[in-house]
């Protein structure tokens, strides 16, 4: 199961775009970032629910060339 669906990302982008369009004369980033913050909170709650939170120290980075070799 994906942590965040494509629809959620599109909804997030659409909500931010709508709020920017509605408030273009009175631009305040706090207004349109509320949508992104709510989406990030939902993702974090899923990390907690699935027991995946606080494992960043156990995740190692992989170079693009190594990843390409893995899938070749």
Question: Which pLDDT belongs to residue 1?
Answer: 43
Residues for the chain: how many in total? 72
Q: Which of 7, 31, 6 is nearest to 21 (CA)?
A: 31
Secondary structure in 3-state letters for 17-54 = HHHHHHCCCCCCHHHHHHHHHHHHHHHHHHHHHCCCCC
* Domain ranges within the chain, ordered by starting residue: 6-71
Contact 3, 46 (CB under 8 A): yes
Write the pLDDT tens digit of every residue in 10-51: 776 777 777 677 766 776 677 667 777 777 787 788 878 888
Give residues with Cβ within 8 angstroms of 16, minimum separation 6.
32, 33, 35, 36
């Amino acid at each position: 199961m994906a942590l965040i669906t494509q629809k959620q990302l599109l909804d997030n982008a659409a909500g931010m775009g709508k709020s920017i369009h509605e408030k273009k004369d009175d631009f305040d980033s706090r207004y349109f970032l509320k949508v992104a913050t709510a989406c990030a909170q939902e993702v974090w709650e899923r990390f907690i629910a699935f027991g995946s939170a606080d494992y960043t120290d156990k995740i190692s980075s992989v170079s693009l060339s190594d990843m390409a070799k893995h899938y070749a």
